[in-house]
Structure 1
């Protein structure tokens, strides 16, 4: 069925539902300056009785939801509407703590402790209450402890949780030392959101110690310390912080749905807003600058873009690349008419045996634990699961996988997206590769997503394997199947050792490789 845009009245109704409401409290200014400890004293006589009549719990809860933390930068870069809903929606919608750490590229505490093991003078902040944790952090800083783990920094409505504070030599309010901040991440490169978090830590540290660190740091799972210059990111950081401040204060950000919105607990609202107004951001991989330019040209909806000729679009937006405009219009037609559009032939090598490959990892532990392969030969299919139940078993898992690849050294190895190639490189560096397996993997790995993008335009805003597979009629056995959920399942299995949970993970991996095979067959039948 062609997708028909719903009336924008739905969007207006949604905005009214979630519009910023004034806090029903005559003493908001008091609450903003009142500590958590002081709030607990209301009703004891320390704070005047007239203030105790205020619904303090309600006011305090709202104010806490409008705090800005280091995670606000990650949320803003993924989906500014996430920041808005977190601050202003009537009911909070927090993530599972492990999922929150996963999305922020964090590591579990046990892995962090392993990386910090052996430090001679490490103090750990143990208080759960944010203010008490901040006071504990301050005490450790004044004592001059070398390493402070699980630190908390506060200033007004700013609250930060750097994984580590490290003492360095230099004059400050504290003495002949000051502190720099580091986060422990599952990634192996510095990303913008990490640097913005580092700038946030630097600003709060300057308030406390009178010295602004010049460098920020990221500790990788390999215990490599990556540094970056705070100054390099400061201008963009301040612009981003200003945007976040305005959103938290009540300004609704321009709506723009991206794949980053999928990380948000408010994704259904984000997508609903876009669909209700037939927003141009529904086009797959469209840039914000392109949407802004089209809007300036008077093209504000997907349907409108689909109806215009390429010549007319070029006339209205002559500064945009013609080839790019043509592709955006094709996407708009596909979305509006609810059908896929073929562009070019897909080049998919055929062989007697074809392999379909998918990896399951737990980034929280930097642990690639399942390499799944579907072998297809002359109409017969067999799934192979190479599984490591512990990190100590990973090398054996990898070597078994390499032996399997060597036995099919001429077979194309299809996978979806670039993650599998990243894992193959990482495990090869960690555990080694035989020359035959290395040559086979380098020559035969084929990213089917790359082929797909050059061959077909689907009537979908997102091109994940789950989105494409569902469009083509493939069904996963688990209703909650997804990469993030598989990590939570694995963490659950580590705690419970419930073999049913592990079976669910293996079945999910098997479904992914079968979905990749289903997509490849569809492309062969329809785009070759």
Structure 2
């Protein structure tokens, strides 16, 4: 069986995924979503940009014939080629890797680059070090483990272990040196764990982690299993660390967590006096399928109110361009019983300053109106845009003082029977629906990228409609929260 760097990369993200990649039914995989396709395109473009600055040679061999690939790579290494792109290196069954034998397995290494350096190896007065081109801007652990895998296989092939390997990150082309004396032992430990997992007759337990799972092609299968089991990972606030701690005290179900005294949890790793009671109430809310007031909610005087005029604000951004291209504002005038949506759209990077000024002009037309948003991004972005475009402090500070984070107020006040406190999950629980059912933030990133490439204006219209629906969803959630809190406290005082 072949073990490659991709196996170790995915194992660090999810122990279950590589098991399914090897043993699972391929027909059960999800199709790649738009964000994943865009990330793949971005990584390809980043790689091509770096390779264009180097004079590289690539081994020539029949596709999938790894033995031929290694032979072609070794020939280039014997020639002393300066840069070898996607060379193939193999450690076959029973060969020793740092005095460890991986019987029954072949280690396949294909680093982005093999870079010639001075030294002594089986090739002569030179040696090679591996380098990988990564899309991230920082040297994540998973990147360093992968490059350590390449370095270890390379060491077996050339007869000498490099001390350093390199990551070429998307951060002003900064090269990051990886200390292999630290990372090779950690990689070996992860590799041994991985082998134990794939040799097991059953896959590792399901654990749904939204950020990590959403791009995985096994997401639908794992999510269906988690739902059928009523798995605790579907409960907001149950992190991997907290889940492990709950298991140690035999809390494995919603019922058991809902009936737990929070004091029992407070001193466990990952918990404290605030987290423990909140998580217990969260379990009770899910079990009873109704919203509940948290043990220590915001004081009622700090809960938002209903104003004569209210603004609902949402931003769409293109992270890789550092561009906030759409500032959407829904103006709700309760005095005239009207609603008006304003979509300030930058069709390219140069127009960001224009839409920023259009936003400021609009919100200053309503100097007393609260500005509602969902999560901190809008608040932080307004501060950043003000600094970027040298907006006077006197024009921005009063605007920021009117910002009200609906997410913060809701999550500090109530527990909802939802799997996530994302805007979509909450608004849909309330019965609100987006006009484009499949639209989401990731698709907007993809659509805007396609707009820049194709000039298809229907893509901009899809984004604008989604942005308006986000503002209207925030409006729905905010009104529900105000009414629920008022009803609860009126009932308690009756």
Q: Deviation at 1:485?
A: 3.2
* 1:101–1:422 Cα change, 3 Å: farther
Q: Distance in 1 between matches of 2:3 and 2:481?
A: 46
- What is the aligned partner in structure 2 of residue 276 from structure 1? 228
1:113 aligns with 2:42: no
- What is the aligned partner in structure 1 of residue 247 from structure 2? 295
Q: Distance in 2 between matches of 1:423 and 1:100?
A: 25
Q: Deviation at 1:355?
A: 4.2
Alignment partner of 2:331 out of 376, 386, 400: 376
* 1:408–1:80 Cα change, 3 Å: same
1:84 aligns with 2:19: yes
- What is the aligned partner in structure 1 of residue 475 from structure 2? 517
* 1:491–1:342 Cα change, 3 Å: same
Alignment partner of 1:171 out of 116, 120, 131: 120
Encode CA deviations 1:343-392: one digit per residue, 9 max, x unaligned: 223644877553412224264xx463632312425244443444444xxx
1:499 aligns with 2:488: no
Question: Any idea what SS the aligned residue of 2:432 has?
Answer: coil
Q: Distance in 2 between matches of 1:421 and 1:146?
A: 49
Q: Which has the higher contact order (CA 8 A, sep 6+)?
A: 1
* 1:356–1:141 Cα change, 3 Å: farther
Q: Deviation at 1:438?
A: 6.3
Q: Deviation at 1:195?
A: 2.5
State the TM-score, normalizing by the size of structure 1: 0.72
Partners of 1:172 and 1:211 within 8 A in 2: no
* 1:236–1:425 Cα change, 3 Å: farther
Q: Distance in 1 between matches of 2:339 and 2:231?
A: 42
* 1:402–1:138 Cα change, 3 Å: farther
Question: Any idea what SS the aligned residue of 1:171 has?
Answer: strand
Q: Distance in 1 between matches of 2:451 and 2:60?
A: 27
Alignment of 1:10-159 (within 5 A): 32=1, 67-92=2-27, 93=29, 95-96=31-32, 99-100=35-36, 107-117=42-52, 119-123=53-57, 129-130=63-64, 131=66, 137-149=73-85, 153-156=89-92, 157-159=106-108
- What is the aligned partner in structure 1 of residue 199 from structure 2? 249
Q: Deviation at 1:486?
A: 3.3
State the TM-score, normalizing by the size of structure 2: 0.76
- What is the aligned partner in structure 1 of residue 356 from structure 2? 401
- What is the aligned partner in structure 2 of residue 486 from structure 1? 444
Q: Deviation at 1:332?
A: 1.1
Encode CA deviations 1:247-270: one digit per residue, 9 max, x unaligned: 222352133222223332222332
Q: Deviation at 1:101?
A: 5.8
Q: Distance in 2 between matches of 1:176 and 1:272?
A: 53
Encode CA deviations 1:35-83: one digit per residue, 9 max, x unaligned: xxxxxxxxxxxxxxxxxxxxxxxxxxxxxxxx54434344334432222
- What is the aligned partner in structure 2 of residue 465 from structure 1? 423
Question: Any idea what SS the aligned residue of 1:291 has?
Answer: helix
Partners of 1:358 and 1:415 within 8 A in 2: no
Question: Any idea what SS the aligned residue of 1:107 has?
Answer: helix
* 1:283–1:475 Cα change, 3 Å: same
Worse overlay, 335-344 or 292-301: 292-301
Alignment partner of 1:334 out of 281, 285, 309: 285
Alignment of 1:366-445 (within 5 A): 366=321, 368=323, 370-379=325-334, 380-389=338-347, 393-405=348-360, 408=363, 414-417=372-375, 432-436=389-393, 439=397
Question: Any idea what SS the aligned residue of 2:214 has?
Answer: helix
Q: Deviation at 1:85?
A: 1.9
Encode CA deviations 1:182-240: one digit per residue, 9 max, x unaligned: 3231x432323222223223223323333234244241153333444344444543333
Q: Deviation at 1:341?
A: 1.6
Encode CA deviations 1:313-350: one digit per residue, 9 max, x unaligned: 45997996454332221111111111122222364487
Partners of 1:167 and 1:180 within 8 A in 2: no
Encode CA deviations 1:502-523: one digit per residue, 9 max, x unaligned: 3223322332233233323323
Partners of 2:311 and 2:331 within 8 A in 1: yes
Question: Any idea what SS the aligned residue of 1:476 has?
Answer: coil
Worse overlay, 272-281 or 439-448: 439-448
Partners of 1:82 and 1:266 within 8 A in 2: yes
Partners of 1:199 and 1:216 within 8 A in 2: no
In angstroms, what is the RMSD of aligned CA positions? 3.9
Q: Distance in 1 between matches of 2:243 and 2:379?
A: 32
Q: Distance in 2 between matches of 1:158 and 1:474?
A: 51
